[in-house]
Structure 1
Amino acid sequence: MNTIQKNKFSASIKSWIAYDAGNSAFATTVLAAFFPIFFTQYWAADIAEIDSAKYYSFALMISNGLLLISAPIVGAITDISGNTKKLFSRLVLVSIFFTGLLFFLEAGSWLMALVFFGVANLFFSTSNVLYDKILIKITTPDLFSKISGYGYAVGYFGGGTLFLLNAIMSLQPGLFGLESQADAIRWSFLTVSIWWSIFLLPLYINFKDETNSNENKAVLKNAIFTFINTLKNISAHKPSFIFLIAFFLYIDGVHTVMALASTFALNIGLKSDAIIIALIMVQFVAFPATLLWAWVADRFNDLLVIFISIFIYIAIIIYSTTLTNAMEFYILAILVGSVQGGIQASSRSCFAKIIPEEKSGEFFGLFNTFGKAGALFGPFLVGIFLIAFNDIRLALVPIILLFIFGGYILYRYKNEII
């Protein structure tokens, strides 16, 4: 285990935690809220709605598909070269740049909007591989749970704060000297870039790679061979791969619940303003809740947090079948916010404790790959249930199976993972 920068809450640790406040602004304002809505209503307003939905889906598919291929390789490159900081910063800056470019696009520029968004999303997701890896470099395993939880908590608070400002801008553009809601949302993309850049600076200044850089023309080739060799020797890293299988299942459930939240809201008669309010509620409930889960994980263990969260998610899904009005949907949002950060943070810290440090980039590449790939079975099962029952309130019921199977695998092999 590294000895560099291991003091509790050193400058690098504080900077790592704070960075999530900037990073989460993209996930909240751009990815979850404004881009999907604004793309259809503004940039793609001149084309058929069904076509805009298809083009947006294709852009996401290509962006996420490239991540599945590249994430483990990018992580392995930094393991070999020792240039985690340099590559991380470059990836983040590319995403920041293309997010900011969305501000300059006029109505009808749907193709350029998809290109800019696709690039920003790919580099955002890839940079998270190295952000997760940095956790291992700045502290010791006894603090992984606490610091991982603090990172997610600050991310929800910071991302939620900017999202709240952006939401007010979009609802009341005149208060900010803007002519329309469209202008407000375009400005929101630029504020994300600025906000994100501000929170990147402390981490860039305070985090130092501990090894000398080892860049050469063969580094990509070596990274690919290293990754292939790791896959060939899975048995040597059995706890890590068992965890990844369980993670793939239950995080699919988490992501599916998140993805269908807006669909639920629309089908029970909520308008877009109410959906934005619900998203804000999730952010600010998740902040204190994730801090609480971080304490539980630090006091006991990460698996306990994951198990409890899985049970709560199952209860949330059962409750979702009874939704009839806006107030009940807000309760659902509060329940989701109470566990979303905890299960994410404890999954990251639990995985960090069982992987070999010298391969941390490569393994966190796999972690993020499995996390993104864990959006396959959930939507498929939901689609099958919608075809069979034609009732949106029953759509999430089959997702319970993903939580049960994921939880069972963790429980079955918990002694090997802890």
Structure 2
Amino acid sequence: MAGFFPLFFKQYWSTGTDATVSTFWLGLGNSGASFLILIMAPILGALADSGGIHKRLLAVFATIGIVATAAFFFVAQGAWPWAISIYVIAIIGFSGANVFYDAMLPSLTTHSDFHRLSALGYALGYLGGGLLFLVNVMMTLQPSWFGLADAAAAVRVSFLSVAVWWLIFSLPLLLGIREQAPTSSSRPALGKEFSKLWNTLKSIRQQRNLWMFLCAYWLYIDGVATIIRMAVDYGMAIGLPSDSLIIALLLVQFIGFPATLVFGRIGQRYGAKRGLWIGLWAYVIATACASLMSSSLEFYALAVALGLVQGGVQSLSRSLFGQLIPPERSGEYFGFLNMLGKAAAVLGPLMVGIVAATTGNSRIGLLSILVLFLLGMWFLRKVDDTPLAASTAPS
């Protein structure tokens, strides 16, 4: 999503199409998929809680994402309408599966181990994604080593390899994890779940601590997501070569593995808020520095800095939220968290685009993201990170 698809969409699937048209459809595809998940996430989470079907729904959405990702292999050059349509389906599968994946965390561990386990999950994700991405990059740089005709064939095969990898590493979870017990003995009904969601919204409004965290998360994760999605585009805008941008993404993946584990330890020993403060201040400083950079070496330094904190901010946000909600309604509440996550990277890119267009300077546009981090940190200051209630892992 961050590396190959944007480049391949412009350079291969959109061959012969005006660059502004391909940019428009890529933006529309991202926004459309995010909007659908925005609507679906809390409803699906509530249904999963009441029916005890987190794992089954995870399997359904993961399968949608896997099949869509594999389908990129068959999309011909110039067939950008097919590419963007499949991209939307793949994002829905990926994002939908994550709602249920995240919601399983409270049932798998104790509150005292939340931060470590959440960080371990993210860290292994960075390691696994980084290993496969490294192989895929080598395929595109040296296609002959892999018996491929050219770089275009290598990228198409890369999408197929991602689908196979995703399927294989979903099996331990699907086969080895026990399903969370239903919270209701009756069959889940959509109308009933809408009513429950409305009650949950009212409940969140009455829980000042949870409300403050959700406001903080929505703001700062928008900044994080904006940097993730806009980094390649920003690098290209200031004239950096595409190879340098790909190498920078690899740096983030591999540095993110050990760094996220360290943040898990920080959260476990000193609390999630302190870990988040470290990560968010690093984002503030890195964003300010990024507005001044002009070379590939500086872009690599930025990648290292973000790799050190990106996974920590993501994992500690998830585990802190898990401490603040009732475990028996984790799917429903994590549905709201994922909903806010999908609403993120909407405000940030809009700010960057408007400020850059108004000032005629992409660097000033990037600086506008600082507002999101600083406001998010202001709300985070008001959050009490005391766990809502103790919970125990199932036997």
TM-score in terms of structure 1 length: 0.89
Q: Does 1:315 align with 2:285?
A: yes
Contact 1:248–1:371 (CA under 8 A) maintained in structure 2: yes
Alignment correspondent of 1:131: 101
Most deviating of 105-114 and 240-249: 105-114
Q: Does 1:383 align with 2:353?
A: yes
Structure-to-structure mapping, 1:2-401, within 5 angstroms:
31-211=1-181, 219-401=189-371
What amino acid does structure 2 have at the position aligned with 1:226?
A: K
Contact 1:152–1:290 (CA under 8 A) maintained in structure 2: yes
Share of identical aligned residues, percent? Answer: 39
Distance 2:214 2:223 in 1: 14
SS in 1 for 2:78: coil
Distance 2:264 2:286 in 1: 21
Distance 1:414 1:64 in 2: 30
Q: 1:375 to 1:417 in 2, by over 3 A?
A: farther
Q: 1:343 to 1:179 in 2, by over 3 A?
A: same
Contact 2:31–2:346 (CA under 8 A) maintained in structure 1: no
Distance 2:12 2:318 in 1: 37
Aligned-residue offset at 1:119: 0.7
Contact 1:239–1:417 (CA under 8 A) maintained in structure 2: no
Distance 2:162 2:312 in 1: 24
Q: 1:50 to 1:363 in 2, by over 3 A?
A: same
Contact 1:98–1:116 (CA under 8 A) maintained in structure 2: yes
Work out the number of aligned pairs and report it.
Answer: 388
What amino acid does structure 2 have at the position aligned with 1:72?
A: P
Alignment correspondent of 1:10: none
Aligned-residue offset at 1:39: 1.5
Distance 1:275 1:227 in 2: 42
Q: 1:333 to 1:125 in 2, by over 3 A?
A: same
Stretches of structure 2 lacking an aligned partner (at least 5 in a row): 389-395
Q: RMSD value over aligned CA atoms? A: 1.8
Q: Deviations over 1:239-267 (max 9, x none)?
A: 22221111001111111222221133223
Aligned-residue offset at 1:35: 1.3
Aligned-residue offset at 1:269: 2.6
TM-score in terms of structure 2 length: 0.94
SS in 2 for 1:412: coil
Contact 2:104–2:180 (CA under 8 A) maintained in structure 1: no
Alignment correspondent of 2:391: none
Most deviating of 306-315 and 218-227: 218-227
SS in 1 for 2:207: helix
Most deviating of 120-129 and 378-387: 378-387
Contact 1:239–1:416 (CA under 8 A) maintained in structure 2: no
Q: 1:136 to 1:416 in 2, by over 3 A?
A: closer
Q: Deviations over 1:94-117 (max 9, x none)?
A: 110111111112112222222211
